[in-house]
């Protein structure tokens, strides 16, 4: 089930994000970096900015956060984050979430969106491409939680 997130979902959302990072980014970052991600910090963040969540058997297993573009002046809106717990990868949860995020952006009056994805993340890049997103040539070095890597911008008309 896809539904709007609530502040009380914050810890479950943080756990999904951390598990997804630890599995999906282990080829990009060290175990030490990935194990150092703070559950408390992530929970505080998601309590302030609840995303759309996906539930299976009343358990949060994924989420998507969309809104105005805040890092890029070339786009109106942005898919800021989308994560699914690794135990639920390849089961349609991510597809349902990205569709819900895009629908929300359309409802809010946006006609285009961008997202940034790690350059060396072929799994995510295939996922976005299958959902109709395309790399537009923009790249930059970015940093999250003290971890730096090259990111590629994808765009989509909504």
pLDDT in tens, 112-158: 999 999 999 999 999 999 999 999 999 999 887 676 789 999 999 99
The backbone torsions φ and ψ at residue 2, rounded to the nearest 5 degrees and listed phi first, read -100, 135
Q: Measure the CA–CA gap between 154 and 22, rounded to whole angstroms.
A: 23
Q: Measure the CA–CA gap between 88 and 101, rounded to whole angstroms.
A: 18
Q: Measure the CA–CA gap between 97 and 17, rounded to whole angstroms.
A: 14
Q: Mind listing the domains of the chain with CATH numbers?
A: 2-157 (3.40.630.30)
Q: Which pLDDT tens digit goes with each residue over 9-55?
A: 999 999 999 999 999 888 878 888 888 888 999 999 999 999 999 99
The backbone torsions φ and ψ at residue 119, rounded to the nearest 5 degrees and listed phi first, read -55, -45
Say if CB 33 and CB 21 are below 8 A apart: no
pLDDT confidence of residue 156: 97
């Amino acid at each position: 089930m896809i539904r709007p997130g609530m502040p009380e979902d914050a810890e479950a959302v943080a756990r999904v994000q951390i598990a997804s990072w630890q599995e999906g980014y282990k080829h990009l970052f060290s175990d030490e970096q990935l194990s150092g991600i703070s559950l408390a910090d992530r929970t505080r963040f998601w309590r302030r900015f609840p995303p759309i969540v996906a539930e299976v058997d009343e358990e949060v297993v994924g989420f998507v956060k969309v809104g105005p573009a805040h890092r890029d002046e070339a786009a109106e809106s942005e898919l800021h984050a989308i994560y699914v717990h690794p135990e639920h990868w390849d089961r349609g949860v991510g597809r349902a979430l990205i569709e819900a995020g895009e629908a929300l952006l359309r409802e809010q009056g946006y006609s285009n969106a961008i997202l940034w994805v790690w350059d060396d993340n072929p799994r995510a890049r295939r996922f976005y491409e299958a959902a109709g997103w395309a790399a537009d040539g923009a790249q930059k070095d970015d940093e999250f939680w003290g971890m730096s890597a090259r990111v590629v911008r994808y765009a989509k008309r909504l």
